[in-house]
Structure 1
Amino acid sequence: MSHDVRIGTSGWAYPEWRGGFYPKGLAQKRELEYLAGQVNSIELNGTFYSLRRPSDYRSWHSRTPDDFVFAAKGPMLVTHRKRLVDTESALKTFFDSGPLELGTKLGPILWQLPPSLPFDPGVFEAFLSTLTQWPHRNAIEPRHASFRNSDFFALLRKYGVASVIADTAGRFPRFDEQTADFAYVRLHGHEELYASDYSDELLDVWARTIRGWSGDVYVYFDNTMRGAAPRNALSLSRRLGLNVPLHHGV
């Protein structure tokens, strides 16, 4: 594959992973280093719930390999409270809080929309237009069926934004359109949301699908509740022949 493929998990600090994926006795403060030694990317999901400090981003940068990449989940203030309306101030506050401190390790910004938010072309284009003040890769994960609309995909293409391909055990609509020069995939669980393991057969299907895409690919396993996410990320990475370092810094 000539394109850059990044595979990892959504977050890393989960009690369910301790004593299973994380070796017994591993200090919690070393969990990021342990995971980053085995996958080549992680999706920051804590950034959705609250603003972090620039020092947090600098710490994450310093504790991961040189060629590591983080995706960052945009704040719920923008997506769930403001519902994409009048977002300039909130976006400035988010970008000023430190994500750009990651430098070349910052991958796409993920914007996960609430299931109650329908597609409004005017609101959506105003949001995408505001985002252009911070030139960066962005990915949108809608969860309302009204986004299955040619105008939505046309706007994403106009602004170079990826439509997230999300496997949600059928809970939310799945959108498979590729709208940017990169693809963004979130695997929340095929049978049970945030929990179920991905079978070898399903991982084989995803590996074949990813090989068929052009452009960079970002894949994050969010089936974190029972510890399947890191195992699945490693299994998919092996299928795609990704060369990731082992146990960096641990």
Structure 2
Amino acid sequence: MCYGVATALTGYPSDMIRIGTSGWRYPEWRDGFYRGVPQRLWLSHLASRVGSIEINSSFYRLQPPEYYRKWAAQTPPDFVFAVKGPKLVTHVKRLRHVDDALRTFLASLSLGAKQGPLLWQLPPSLRFDAGLVQDFLAVLPPGRHAFEPRHESFRTDAYFDLLRAHNVAHVVSDAPTFPCIDAVTADFAYLRLHGHDELYISSYSDEQLGEWARKIHDWDRDTYVYFDNTMQGAATTNAETLARLLGSPIPSHM
């Protein structure tokens, strides 16, 4: 577990925290969160309730620039997207010889001012290799990047030191199937909540969310939080509850 002391908080500067969900196109939400909302308006509906969303489709296939422009146009002026890096880079090439793939992906991004961090999720079988990580970090462009390893071997100062040297955030991940490595390595923090008991399913209790709120408060820096417990619709409710606990019940654009 990565939890600290359970405490509900108020008065935290809301402009430092972006809370949202990992993706938005879930048929499971149709009869709940999206009840009565046409599918073409799902993104704008969710963006009216949260401050950020992770784009996941970029992980599976290259997205055309016009898609990013369309998504940006459907969200409020101060909205921010995080974008998941392609599995071609992280899972197929496993961070090796990625120059061309990385260049193609970066050229596709067309979010403008709504571009937030790039998320690099590693496969569970990828062990920590200092030289490999160093080489990959060295080719990343300027901007905010977040690294989500899923192997216990990354729980080492050598890994944390590399991220700090490049101001790259380690992703604190809560899930039952891969390690929760609690470390803040950049001038911003990145948290993914995948479901504590059942991966992508289980809802977080108010007590658990209070514990995460305390941790976010103690980090005392810009923080991006994404709920990935999407399969039964808990993500949206949990996101709104965590925002209230942190004293930011609704986005500033509401």
**TM-score interval w.r.t. the shorter chain?**
over 0.9
Q: After TM superposition, what 4+ stretches of structure 1 lie above 2 angstroms from structure 2? A: 243-248
Cα deviations across residues 148-179 of structure 1 (Å, max 9, x unaligned)?
1111111000110000000012x111111110
The one-letter code matched in structure 2 to 1:182 is F
Q: How far, CA to CA, are the matches of 2:73 and 2:220 in structure 1?
A: 31
The one-letter code matched in structure 2 to 1:154 is D
TM-score, normalised to structure 1, is 0.94
2:180 is matched with which residue?
174
The one of 233, 236, 241 equivalent to 2:242 is 236
The 3 A distance-change label for structure 1 pair 82 and 23 is same
The one of 45, 48, 52 equivalent to 1:34 is 45
The one of 21, 35, 38 equivalent to 1:9 is 21
1:102 paired with 2:108, answer no
Q: How far, CA to CA, are the matches of 1:28 and 1:16 in structure 2?
A: 12
The one-letter code matched in structure 1 to 2:242 is L
1:163 is matched with which residue?
170
Are the aligned partners of 1:9 and 1:229 in contact in 2 as well (CA < 8 Å)? yes
Deviation for aligned residue 1:127: 0.4
Are the aligned partners of 1:108 and 1:138 in contact in 2 as well (CA < 8 Å)? yes
Are the aligned partners of 2:80 and 2:116 in contact in 1 as well (CA < 8 Å)? yes
Percent identity between matched residues is: 57
Are the aligned partners of 1:37 and 1:246 in contact in 2 as well (CA < 8 Å)? no
1:57 paired with 2:63, answer no
Q: How far, CA to CA, are the matches of 1:219 and 1:61 in structure 2?
A: 19
Are the aligned partners of 2:240 and 2:250 in contact in 1 as well (CA < 8 Å)? no
**For structure 2, which runs of at least 5 residues remain unmatched after alignment?**
1-11
Are the aligned partners of 1:70 and 1:107 in contact in 2 as well (CA < 8 Å)? yes
Deviation for aligned residue 1:6: 0.2
Deviation for aligned residue 1:244: 3.0
Q: How far, CA to CA, are the matches of 2:31 and 2:214 in structure 1?
A: 32
What RMSD in Å do the two structures reach over aligned CA positions?
A: 1.4
2:193 is matched with which residue?
187
The one of 50, 67, 78 equivalent to 2:78 is 67
The 3 A distance-change label for structure 1 pair 213 and 137 is same
Q: How far, CA to CA, are the matches of 1:23 and 1:157 in structure 2?
A: 44
Q: How far, CA to CA, are the matches of 2:249 and 2:193 in structure 1?
A: 21
The one of 98, 114, 122 equivalent to 1:113 is 122
The one-letter code matched in structure 2 to 1:129 is A
Are the aligned partners of 1:161 and 1:179 in contact in 2 as well (CA < 8 Å)? yes
The 3 A distance-change label for structure 1 pair 247 and 126 is closer
1:48 paired with 2:59, answer yes
Are the aligned partners of 1:197 and 1:232 in contact in 2 as well (CA < 8 Å)? yes
Deviation for aligned residue 1:19: 1.3
**For structure 1, which runs of at least 5 residues remain unmatched after alignment?**
none
2:223 is matched with which residue?
217
Deviation for aligned residue 1:243: 5.4
The one-letter code matched in structure 1 to 2:219 is W
The one-letter code matched in structure 2 to 1:80 is H
Are the aligned partners of 1:38 and 1:247 in contact in 2 as well (CA < 8 Å)? no
TM-score, normalised to structure 2, is 0.92
Aligned residues: 242
The 3 A distance-change label for structure 1 pair 105 and 112 is same
The one-letter code matched in structure 1 to 2:192 is R
The one of 34, 37, 46 equivalent to 1:22 is 34
Q: How far, CA to CA, are the matches of 1:8 and 1:103 in structure 2?
A: 19
Q: How far, CA to CA, are the matches of 1:89 and 1:116 in structure 2?
A: 24
